[in-house]
Structure 1
Amino acid sequence: MAYETLDFEKNGRLATLTLNRPAAMNSMNEVLMKELADCFEALNDEAEVQVLIIKGAGKVFSAGGDIKAMLDDESPMEIDAVMVDITRFVKAMYMLPMVTIAAVHGASAGLGFSLALGCDIIIAEENSKLAMNFIGIGLIPDGAGHFFMKERLGTPLAKQMIWSGDILTGTAAKKIGLVDEVVPDGKAADQANLLAQKLLQSPIAAMIATKEILHTQKCAELSNVLKMETVAQSKMRKTVDHLEGIQAFVQKRTPAFNGQ
């Protein structure tokens, strides 16, 4: 599989998917989101791969949605089209017939954090920065961020985390159950590979069967969350607060929200 914004490598039963927009901090533009959807859908028909590692090239895992693309006057990001591809990649990723491992270094924010949370196992470096920070630009989580946060934290704490947009280190995220394993800085990819090899030496077919049983029960809820996120995000993208939020982000100042 050849992509413009992704690197995909397959080595027998192990595959590695690397987000490859390092100059843009692996932020997700329309091309990257479509290619994620295409890749995950193709992997649902993959018979050999049993472990998939997902990581980011360069200094971070993913900074989230491409805010500069949102502000592009000549070719602005089309939210409705984008949400179609986000829905595609989340559904396909959730039902992948393999164990997925997110190797998080640097930062994993917004949609990039939703992607990591959608993996079966999350390994984060001690000082990585993790944030469901859509609120900072007047948006709601997408990429099933609501679903994945609730799965890991429960509804009350998920709401608090989404509303606050707090940035957590890998160590802090581990304490509340947002990630599964914490490693020293610079070691996430190495640890993901070690874990992958351990899994491949285990009765992994049984593990994958368990994943299918548990995830299938949640498919209807996931689909409903994605539909509601699509409607709400389209509405939020048209608000005054969202425009103020992204302008403040680009201008590196504190936004002045007014609830509109």
Structure 2
Amino acid sequence: MNFETIKLEIAERKATLTLNRPNAMNAMDFTMMRELADCFEALHNEKDVQILIIKGEGKVFSAGGDVKRMVASNDFSDFGTIMDDIARLVRAYYTLPMITIAQIHGASAGLGFSLALGSDIIVAEQSSKLAMNFIGIGLIPDGAGHFFMKERLGTVKAKQMIWEGKVMNGDEALALGLIDYSCPDGTALETVDQLVGKVLASPILAMIETKCILHASNLGQLDEILKGESEGQVKMRQTTDHLEGIKAFVEKRMPQFIGK
């Protein structure tokens, strides 16, 4: 499979997917969203692959959605289609019959953090900057961010974290239960390699079967949340607060929200 914004390597029972827009901090543009959806759907047919690792090229995992593209585009008519691609990639990723591991260094924010949270196991370096920070640009989480935050934190804490948009390091996220391993800077690859070795030496078919049973029972709620996020994000995209948020982000200033 050849892609423009991601790289996929398969070696025996392990696949590695690399987000590959390093000059844009691996921000997810429309092409990357579509390619991720296509890639995850295609991986369902790779019957010999039992582990998938997701990581980012360059200095970060992913800065999230491409905010500069949002500023450049005033066309809201295609936003529903974009949300469809996001829902497609989330559903395909969540239902993969393999163990998924997010290998995080640097920033993992917004949609990039939603993707990481959809993984079975999350490893982040201690200085990582982890944030469900859609609120800063007047949006709601997408990429099933509501679903994954609720799974790991419960409803009340998930709401509070989403509303706050707090930036956390690896140790802080680990203490909250948002990630599974916080490792010293520069050791994410080594830590993930050790985990992969342990998992591959385990009865992994039984592990995958457990995953499939539990995830299948959650699909109704996942689909409901994805639908709500799609409808809600289309509405938020047209608010005055969102337009102010993305302009302030690009101009590197504090936004002035007015509740409209």
Q: TM-score, normalised by structure 2?
A: 0.98
Q: Alpha-carbon deviations, 1:130-165, whole Å to 9, x = none? A: 000000000000000000000000001000000000
Distance 1:154 1:74, change over 3 A: closer
1:227-238 pair list within 5 angstroms: 227-238=227-238
Q: Alpha-carbon deviations, 1:103-153, whole Å to 9, x = none? A: 010000000000000000000000100000000000000000000000000
Q: Tell me the residue number matched to 1:82.
A: 82
Identity of aligned residues (%): 61
Give 1:20 shift: 0.2
Distance 1:221 1:75, change over 3 A: closer
Alignment: residue pair count: 260
C-alpha contact (below 8 Å) 1:109/1:133 kept by paired residues:
yes
Give 1:255 shift: 0.2
SS at match of 1:198: helix
C-alpha contact (below 8 Å) 2:126/2:185 kept by paired residues:
yes
C-alpha contact (below 8 Å) 1:30/1:77 kept by paired residues:
no
Q: Tell me the residue number matched to 1:63.
A: 63
Q: Aligned equivalents of 2:116 and 2:11: distance in 1?
A: 22
C-alpha contact (below 8 Å) 1:70/1:76 kept by paired residues:
no
Q: Alpha-carbon deviations, 1:5-51, whole Å to 9, x = none? A: 00100000011000000000000000000000000000112100000
Distance 1:69 1:78, change over 3 A: farther
Q: TM-score, normalised by structure 1?
A: 0.98
Q: Tell me the residue number matched to 2:216.
A: 216
1:175 aligns with 2:175: yes
Q: Which portions of structure 1, spanning 4 or more consecutive aligned residues, are displaced by more than 2 angstroms?
A: 73-78
Q: Tell me the residue number matched to 1:166.
A: 166
SS at match of 1:64: coil
Q: Tell me the residue number matched to 2:116.
A: 116
What letter corresponds to residue 94 of structure 1 in structure 2?
Answer: Y
Q: Aligned equivalents of 1:79 and 1:108: distance in 2?
A: 23
What letter corresponds to residue 162 of structure 2 in structure 1?
Answer: I
Give 1:71 shift: 1.3
Distance 1:99 1:149, change over 3 A: same
Give 1:226 shift: 0.1
Distance 1:44 1:177, change over 3 A: same
Q: Alpha-carbon deviations, 1:194-223, whole Å to 9, x = none? A: 211211111000000000000000000000
1:9-28 pair list within 5 angstroms: 9-28=9-28
- The runs of 5 or more residues in structure 2 that have no matched partner are none
1:1-260 pair list within 5 angstroms: 1-73=1-73, 78-260=78-260
C-alpha contact (below 8 Å) 2:76/2:237 kept by paired residues:
no
Q: Aligned equivalents of 1:84 and 1:61: distance in 2?
A: 23
Give 1:193 shift: 1.8
What letter corresponds to residue 44 of structure 1 in structure 2?
Answer: H
